[in-house]
Structure 1
Amino acid sequence: MHGPASPGWLLVALCGLTGAYCVLRMRSTVAEQRRSAGAEALMGFGMAAMAVPAAVFTPPAWTWPVYAGVFGVVGLRALWAALRDAHHAHHAVGALAMVYMAVSMTVAAAQGAAGQGHAHGGGSAGLPLVTGSFLLYFTGYVLVSGSRLLPVAGVAGGPVGAVGWGDRPELARVCRVSMGIAMVAMLMPM
């Protein structure tokens, strides 16, 4: 989050492209792909916006509470969906991590305005135990999900070449792993 320029732009590109692919997945003929694609697209675009280097654009102070509110709603929706399908629990954790980072940025901006610290990546506004818990979760998620990136059969048993881009489960997994990696990279400076 608002760290050095080069890694920041790489995170913006990774998360933005992941979000764009998730938008393509929203056009899938497979209901399960459509259900999770919207939340993943929002997460990708939100992470891309958070990763823009502060040297290029420093968002106004009201931006961070808005992020916290939006991802708080997304997290509540994911928790509700997790009652039916456990896969959505991961979305809830991701949204909670986004809320945590947005609240931390709100605190850092307030401390920076009061002359008590550095806003936008200069100081740590996060709580070490919470940050460490999120880091452990997302690192474990990346390692476990990454190990599952073996080619899979096409949807409904059809050949992989005949499946549309939105229906490729292995590409959806790659997107989830890349967003998990990006989440680890964004949590590290906290």
Structure 2
Amino acid sequence: MRGPDSPGWLLVALCAATGAYCLLRMRSTVEEQRRAAGGEALMGFGMAAMAVPAAAFSPPPWAWPAYAGVFTVAALRALWAARTGPHHLHHLLGTSAMVYMAVVMTLSPGPHHHGHGGSGVPPVTGTLLLYFAGYVLLCGARLVPVAGVTAGTAGSRAVGWGDRPELARACRLSMAIAMVAMLLTL
């Protein structure tokens, strides 16, 4: 992506770490969690690759269409999964945003072109920014601990890394924050 190098590398590190954690979550005993973690790992690593500062590495011309193709397949998979429940719609929007960013980067001729003519934010970018900013706020609020709830009650069992809902939410929150950052640089 375009922008200063230091924040770009921090974004790469955040997305790669999130993708790596999602790979660990794929070891869950619950099939739905494994499936979601796989999609989120793809998003994390894809976002990390897209966030590499342009000054450090300029991808070959075929890379952006390849990203668009991979995430189009992921979006179609998320669309298919969305028929089983609305929680898959976030994955659909995330993968669609990745397709959108890859297409904009494909059509962008130079390092100072922002993918749109004139001033202002393109409507698709603005809509995606609003959605992901709202998702960040909602997901962040869900991570705030509720007073009076204690962890490790007598009836609870130990859960593995792949089955910790608060870590899965933190993973989704970090990717949504990264998505906002990436859309702002578009």
The TM-score, its normalising length taken from structure 1, stands at 0.88
TM-superposition CA deviations, 1:20-56 (whole Å, max 9, x none): 0000000011222112000000000000000001111
Q: Which residue identity does 1:124 align to in structure 2?
A: H
Distance 1:17 1:189 in 2: 21
Query: Retained in 2: the 8 A contact 1:150–1:170?
Result: no
Query: Retained in 1: the 8 A contact 2:2–2:185?
Result: no
Check if 1:169 corresponds to 2:159.
no
Q: Which has the higher contact order (CA 8 A, sep 6+)?
A: 2
Look up the match of 1:51: 51
The TM-score, its normalising length taken from structure 2, stands at 0.90
Runs of 4 or more off by more than 3 Å in structure 1?
Answer: 150-154
Look up the match of 2:175: 179
Distance 1:13 1:124 in 2: 24
Look up the match of 2:107: 107
Q: Which residue identity does 2:33 align to in structure 1?
A: Q
Within 5 A, what are the aligned runs for 1:141-156? Answer: 141-151=135-145
Identity of aligned residues (%): 70
Q: How many pairs were matched up?
A: 176
For the aligned residues, what is the CA RMSD?
A: 1.6
Within 5 A, what are the aligned runs for 1:16-165? Answer: 16-108=16-108, 111=109, 118-119=110-111, 122-126=112-116, 128-151=122-145, 158-159=156-157, 162-165=158-161
CA displacement at 1:158 relative to structure 2: 2.4
Q: Which runs of 5+ in 1 are unaligned?
A: 112-117
